[in-house]
Structure 1
């Protein structure tokens, strides 16, 4: 399996360590390169991070191959690939599939199937799922093929350069056409699963846009500005409009047997080429039929 590598050009003289930090390579990634079998080359010769760079030097970082965790089995299964290159894999997750295995659903997750895809195509990476979706939620998922790429995507999320948009059906008729929910989210006392809005929670922000009013329901578009667990579900329940089908947070399942939530758009900057990428996904049939 050929290791993943990136090459940079030094724009100014200075220590290699500082240049690597400027290119977004974290201390953790550097440690994995140093102790995990990777290499750092300057003009083809192996060096340490204390090397003094000259302007125009070619710096190549060869990242060590990664292995799946022992608890993750590679399984055959359908995989709908939207985009793939040496750094990224964008896929469509169907409803009623875990993103990663759980105690209740140890097999058949998206991670299990992607692990088989990586094995079949000689991709030396563990699973770096950058945008997880709940089991019920369908739509676009972003997977990094390398620890460094995952780090770069995480930075984009923190800096709000990555955008994720969803469509959902909620109970009740929204009065405002556009508004933002800003309310901190934390784990609910005595529950390992359920979250709630609470003062000591983590900052969370969701933008809401009304698309259309239906008979007792609203079809909405949502943009996540933060990525808290169950964020959309908690925020909508908090304002009295829980997701249709989300019985954990007050929704009813008389119309659909899962939460009516789909990740329709994913926008990010490619962590290697700096190209802005945009992906769109149409609603699943069950949500389309409801609308």
Structure 2
């Protein structure tokens, strides 16, 4: 495709990219319209919009919904729902999610509406000007705070699972802070396990003799990097896997 000579204008006239600017010049850049992503079929997948303007969309992602189509879930993803939302507004939809969340994770998702905003947001994420904070429940009594600095890579025997790979993994850094701890209680009449809402305790360690009880920790986690399954891999690596994570802790608490 030939470049559009009118894509970059200086003072109302086309200008070469090597041209020099002087004080008072008016530069106008036109971004070419795009066609929608053909592999993402618009579908009615509900989601809540937290913020929207002409450049980006901030979505509250529900648990149990994947972000984009894959072999295991080719449809009914958040991307399909966003595609329908854009189609109804007459806006071409190109998949540009700036951050990613696992299927069972809830949280805010940023979607760029055009090339320019995508470039700026991706740069901000790369320079760590966009901060990502998560809350999670981990098994055991987590230290009050700490940092996990361990490279994460794809596990050779799995298409999905990741692992700590000191030789070939990508740099991954996770900071954590314990907010609360509480015991995992068993109801005597049903035998079902539950987390009692009244059982939350301050972040300080339990009294001597109480640490032998099955404990859970509410943790706040900050990511310096955004590797696939980073929090889940790192927490399992330090012996405090996330509650209910059957992939990285199949023998853990239900």
Task: Return the alpha-carbon distance in structure 2 between the equivalents of residues 231 and 239 of structure 1.
Answer: 12
What's the offset of the Cα at 1:37?
Answer: 9.1
Residue of structure 1 equivalent to 2:43: 75
Q: Distance in 2 between matches of 1:253 and 1:38?
A: 61
Task: Encode CA deviations 1:203-228: one digit per residue, 9 max, x unaligned.
Answer: 10011010100111000010111011
TM-score norm. by structure 2 comes to: 0.82
CA distance in 2, matches of 1:118, 1:164: 26
Q: What is the distance in 2 between the residues matched to 1:49 and 1:93?
A: 41
Counterpart-to-counterpart distance in 2, 1:185 and 1:128: 24
Alignment CA distance shift 1:244-1:150 (3 Å): same
Gaps of 5+ in 1: 1-31, 256-291
Structure 2 residue aligned with 1:265 = none
Which ranges in structure 2 are unaligned for 5 or more consecutive residues? 184-214
1:222 corresponds to: 221
Cα distance, 1:165 vs structure 2 = 0.4
Matched, 1:110 2:73: no
Q: Does the alignment pair 1:245 with 2:212? A: no
> Structure 1 residue 143: deviation in Å?
0.6
CA shift in 2, pair 1:72/1:38, >3 Å: farther
Asked whether the 8 Å contact 2:6–2:14 carries over to 1, the reply is no
> What secondary structure sits across from 1:126 in the alignment?
coil
Q: Map 1:153-164 onto structure 2 (within 5 A).
A: 153-164=121-132
Number of the residue aligned with 1:235: 234
Correspondence for 2:207: none
1:139 to 107, 112, 131: 107
Deviates more, 1:208-217 or 1:36-45: 36-45
Moved over 2 A (4+): 34-38, 43-48, 122-125, 251-255
TM-score, reference length from structure 1: 0.72
Aligned length: 222
Preserved contact between residue 38 and residue 64 of structure 1 (Cα < 8 Å):
no
Q: CA RMSD in A?
A: 1.9
Match status 1:196 vs 2:163: yes
Which structure has the bigger radius of gyration? 2
**Residue of structure 2 equivalent to 1:98:** 66
